[in-house]
Structure 1
Amino acid sequence: MRATVVGSGVAGLTTAIALQRAGWQVHVLTAAPIETLTSHLAAAVWFPTHAGPPEAVTRWGAHTFDVLAGLAEQPGSGVVMRESLALYRSAPSVPAWATAVRELRPATAQELPSGYAYGLRFQVPLVEMPIHLPWLVDLFSASGGRLRFVRIAALDEVIDDGWSEVVVNCTGLAARELAQDRSVYAVRGQIVRVTNPGLTLSMRDEQHPSGRAYIHPRTADCILGGTLDEHRWDTDVDLAEADSILARCREIEPRLYQADVLEHIVGLRPARPTVRVEESVTGPGRARLLHNYGHGGSGITLGWGCARDVVALATLVS
């Protein structure tokens, strides 16, 4: 069984590895080095964001959580289990993702920053993508996978290449053109990377009056965010927005006043009304075409769950 995965972001690599584990010989096509991809830029903490449909997101997210928790035990994977605190200004309902996370409980008054009356404590995977993506590539290659740098103009080039039995479209935003899917749109995200002044707790406030705020400590730095700008395609750094991100994150965690700004980062998340994991009919004598894209801000959160569904589709009649 031979499959070609088009796209080498987190969706493409997890799909490729999942197919390998199911017995497939797999090639991955990428148009650019992995360090230039949106996946490489992501803050990458497990947390369902800007993706649907809800029932599938819950299922995909739960499976991905379990896989990432296992990877956190493997040295060099770039995955750690991170204590987290979600902040609220009014009493929260039980979130849909609650069944997947570990040790969910109400935060105590002593654990809450000034100005907050409610919070939820839990533990989730945090993935350092500059470490994790190369680790996935090495894992894929060690199992006989082939990564090819090829820029295609149409998926038909791969469907009709004579080698592939199944082609999996994991092209993210490029699916807007390659799959002629006009429902795909960009969700611009701007973050700030700063030195870590000794933080070990991830914190987030999704309803901050000045915009979303999150603080994700990593090994050698912290990621502060961030924006969720629908249908905005530019990747220019907005310095006023950067100042606002810093201000609201420092409001939550004053120790960030001690942190030095290392870098401003802007990336485009590939969104659509719902994540697309399904097959398109290609016709007799041609490779089958499966899709796995449109994860919005949840690529790392849904990756292994979506990949499992792709494998199920691929093996359905193969």
Structure 2
Amino acid sequence: MARRVTVIGAGVIGLSVAHEFASNGDEVTVVADQDTMETVSSVSAALWFPFRSERSELADQLLARSLERFVALTAESDAVVRMRTGTVVERLADPDRSWTSHLAQFEEASAAQLPEGTTSGVRAALPFIEIPRYLPWLKARVQSLGITFEYRTVASIKELANESDLVVIAVASSSAATKASTRSVGRSCGSRILGSKSG
């Protein structure tokens, strides 16, 4: 049975979460006080890389799946993701290279390729997401799934109690909705399922 899902936030995380729920057959509404190109996401850069990612089976699955999907997008005619080759530099004697297990190919960086102050590095081609093009593309993809957008401020998730079976916060931690929820459910994070009705 389709659930009524409300996603708070129209940035890259909010749109991605909304896309996944809608793809699974849920009825999704995105509520935001800013349009997608006015969010923090619009001025960010994006490169597939597990920056300070937790080490867990779930995190590994997410890395593998996202890499696969981003690489697939590079083959589309209106490619909004491109593969870029570069050097991931390291400054620790024993760096965590577990992320390289998801790559088809990579190599050790030579001394000539390392900037001063680094100890080692990895040369690899990684997905580079061109945000100014990716966000409009993602929003159009989301809208094609029938997701609706409402532009308004949410001061408390209680406002959504009668219209949602599930609420997901996907906004910066400084937002009003996130501050209100943090007092009752704990530490804020980038995206979180905040409330759900059982049954």
TM-score, structure 1 as length reference? 0.53
SS at match of 1:119: strand
Following TM superposition, by how much is the alpha carbon of 1:34 offset from its aligned partner in structure 2, in angstroms? 1.5
Matched with 1:36 is: 38
User: 1: distance between equivalents of 2:192 and 2:35?
Assistant: 25
1:76–1:131: 8 Å Cα contact kept in structure 2?
no
Is 1:45–2:47 an aligned residue pair?
Answer: yes
Following TM superposition, by how much is the alpha carbon of 1:118 offset from its aligned partner in structure 2, in angstroms? 2.8
Following TM superposition, by how much is the alpha carbon of 1:65 offset from its aligned partner in structure 2, in angstroms? 1.3
Aligned residues with identical type, % of pairs: 24
1:294-309 pair list within 5 angstroms: none
2:31–2:150: 8 Å Cα contact kept in structure 1?
yes
1:58–1:96: 8 Å Cα contact kept in structure 2?
no
- Uncovered stretches (5+) of structure 2, i.e. residues with no partner: none
Deviations along 1:51-98, whole A, 9 cap, x unmatched? 4x3214333222211111111222334211111211235655451211
TM-score, structure 2 as length reference? 0.81
Is 1:170–2:174 an aligned residue pair?
Answer: no
1:181-192 pair list within 5 angstroms: 181=183, 183-184=187-188
Q: 1:130 to 1:34 in 2, by over 3 A?
A: same
User: 2: distance between equivalents of 1:133 and 1:151?
Assistant: 21
Following TM superposition, by how much is the alpha carbon of 1:115 offset from its aligned partner in structure 2, in angstroms? 6.8
Following TM superposition, by how much is the alpha carbon of 1:4 offset from its aligned partner in structure 2, in angstroms? 1.6
Matched with 1:83 is: 85
Matched with 2:55 is: 54
Following TM superposition, by how much is the alpha carbon of 1:104 offset from its aligned partner in structure 2, in angstroms? 1.8
Q: 1:117 to 1:3 in 2, by over 3 A?
A: closer
Matched with 2:20 is: 18
1:3–1:167: 8 Å Cα contact kept in structure 2?
yes
Q: Output the aligned Cα RMSD.
A: 2.6
User: 1: distance between equivalents of 2:191 and 2:11?
Assistant: 16
SS at match of 1:172: coil
Is 1:124–2:126 an aligned residue pair?
Answer: yes
Q: 1:88 to 1:158 in 2, by over 3 A?
A: same
User: 1: distance between equivalents of 2:194 and 2:154?
Assistant: 20
1:46–1:124: 8 Å Cα contact kept in structure 2?
yes
User: 1: distance between equivalents of 2:95 and 2:6?
Assistant: 43
Deviations along 1:87-135, whole A, 9 cap, x unmatched? 2356554512112234121123454456766321112111111111111
Which structure dedicates a bigger proportion of its chain to strand?
Answer: 1
2:13–2:191: 8 Å Cα contact kept in structure 1?
no
User: 2: distance between equivalents of 1:140 and 1:72?
Assistant: 19
SS at match of 1:151: coil
- Equivalenced residues, count: 192
1:280-291 pair list within 5 angstroms: 280=195, 288=196
* Residue type of the alignment partner of 2:187: S
Matched with 2:145 is: 143
Is 1:106–2:111 an aligned residue pair?
Answer: no
Q: 1:23 to 1:40 in 2, by over 3 A?
A: same
Q: 1:26 to 1:89 in 2, by over 3 A?
A: closer
Following TM superposition, by how much is the alpha carbon of 1:9 offset from its aligned partner in structure 2, in angstroms? 1.4
* Residue type of the alignment partner of 2:5: A
SS at match of 1:179: helix
Q: 1:7 to 1:180 in 2, by over 3 A?
A: same
SS at match of 1:87: strand
* Residue type of the alignment partner of 1:183: R
* Residue type of the alignment partner of 1:132: Y
2:32–2:153: 8 Å Cα contact kept in structure 1?
yes
User: 1: distance between equivalents of 2:194 and 2:187?
Assistant: 17
Q: 1:132 to 1:147 in 2, by over 3 A?
A: same
Following TM superposition, by how much is the alpha carbon of 1:279 offset from its aligned partner in structure 2, in angstroms? 6.0
1:5–1:169: 8 Å Cα contact kept in structure 2?
yes
Larger relative contact order, structure 1 or 2 (CA cutoff 8 Å, min sep 6): 2
